[in-house]
Structure 1
Amino acid sequence: MSHPPKAQRPSRWRIGGFLLLLVLACVGIGYLTADLASLAMHQMMERPQWKHDQPHGHRWLHDELGLTDEEAARIDVFEADYRQRRRELETEFDQRMAELAELIRANDSYTPEVTHAVHALHAVHGELQQLAIEHYYQMLSVLPPEKQQRLRDLAVEALSQPE
């Protein structure tokens, strides 16, 4: 088996440098994608139609479902706990975003502290998502079948909207 003349072969340094650059680009793109996805989810939660726990969002959902006073009262049994926990998690999410922003401002490279901050942000984001889904199922459990279907349709529609 013959090898091309040395002048035609790429050097190991050149290949190694290219691979290092490729890995760094992938890490950077992955980091930015994760950060942008978290930011998009946070902004998505700020939309009136997604903020069930805000007065206008709460009213919107009640109107969309055509809730009777009795149905609304059944939801209100667990609504206050949901709102409180959501506020706590949103505050923590904002703190984690601020911490990550400060690390990005202070560091010229991707450090273990940045990795930790990204993971901490994702953990809170996951808790927010889980809380919202648990709340959805709580609401579903107290509604009559026809309103359960409407709530399912609204949830699927909300989850299907591209950002």
Structure 2
Amino acid sequence: MSATKRYLILSIVLAVIAGAIGAACAVHWLSHREQTSSLHQLVHDELGLTAEQLTRIDAAEARFAIRRVALEQEMQAANRQLAGAIEADKSYGPEAQAAINRFHGAMGELQEQTILHVFEMRDVLTPEQQVRFDRTVTASLTEQER
């Protein structure tokens, strides 16, 4: 195979990998931001929280923010690892796969922690508030209007 063909194939493979990772990141971060924004607005502006509820929710949000930042940093580190593997190997080899697995692990953990955070907030609410909260969570996850 000629050098030109090899570089063309390598370029296509790298473009596909980069595009897939970019799409996964965009979907994850954009949907996370939308969900967080609509839940934040509902909880803080529309549910009429008591002072005690607000204190508990604020504490839960502070704990989650620390976990979220750490996991987002882990995803960034995995992307740097992937870039290094691509630069070094010029192929989709074991190092690139390890970096992708690392990224997916951190992204999955972030999703799990987000859901645990949602349930932690829900536990603070009254049954009436939970009905509105649940409706917003379901709408966010299914991309519907609440």
TM-score, normalised via structure 1 length: 0.65
Q: Work out which of the residue numbers 112, 128, 135 in structure 2 matches 1:146.
A: 128
Q: Return the index of the structure with the highest Cα Rg.
A: 1
Q: Where in structure 1 are there 5+ consecutive unaligned residues?
A: 1-26
CA contact (8 A) 1:38 1:122 kept: no
The residue that corresponds to 1:50 in the other structure is 35
Q: Distance in 1 between matches of 2:17 and 2:48?
A: 43
Distance apart, 1:133 and its partner CA? 0.4
Q: Secondary structure of the residue that 1:94 maps to in structure 2? A: helix
Count of residue pairs the alignment pairs up: 131
Distance apart, 1:41 and its partner CA? 0.6
Which structure's relative contact order is higher, taking Cα pairs within 8 Å and 6+ residues apart?
2
Distance apart, 1:115 and its partner CA? 0.6
Q: Does 1:41 align with 2:41?
A: no
The residue that corresponds to 2:115 in the other structure is 133
Q: Does 1:98 align with 2:83?
A: no
The residue that corresponds to 2:7 in the other structure is none
Per mean C-alpha deviation after superposition, the further-off stretch among 148-157 and 103-112 is 103-112
Q: Distance in 1 between matches of 2:89 and 2:127?
A: 54
Distance apart, 1:50 and its partner CA? 3.2
Q: Deviations over 1:125-156 (max 9, x none)?
A: 01100110001111111100111111111111
Q: Distance in 1 between matches of 2:118 and 2:76?
A: 23
Instruction: Report percent identity of matched pairs.
Output: 36
TM-score, normalised via structure 2 length: 0.72
Q: Deviations over 1:25-68 (max 9, x none)?
A: xx99x9567522244213433x3x4345xxx9745641143433
Q: Does 1:161 align with 2:143?
A: yes
After superposition, where does 1:15-94 map in structure 2 within 5 Å? 35=21, 36-45=23-32, 47=33, 49-51=34-36, 58=40, 61-94=43-76
Aligned-CA RMSD value = 3.1
Q: Work out which of the residue numbers 98, 112, 116 in structure 1 matches 2:94.
A: 112
Q: Which runs of 4+ in 1 moved over 3 A?
A: 30-34, 49-52, 56-61, 104-107
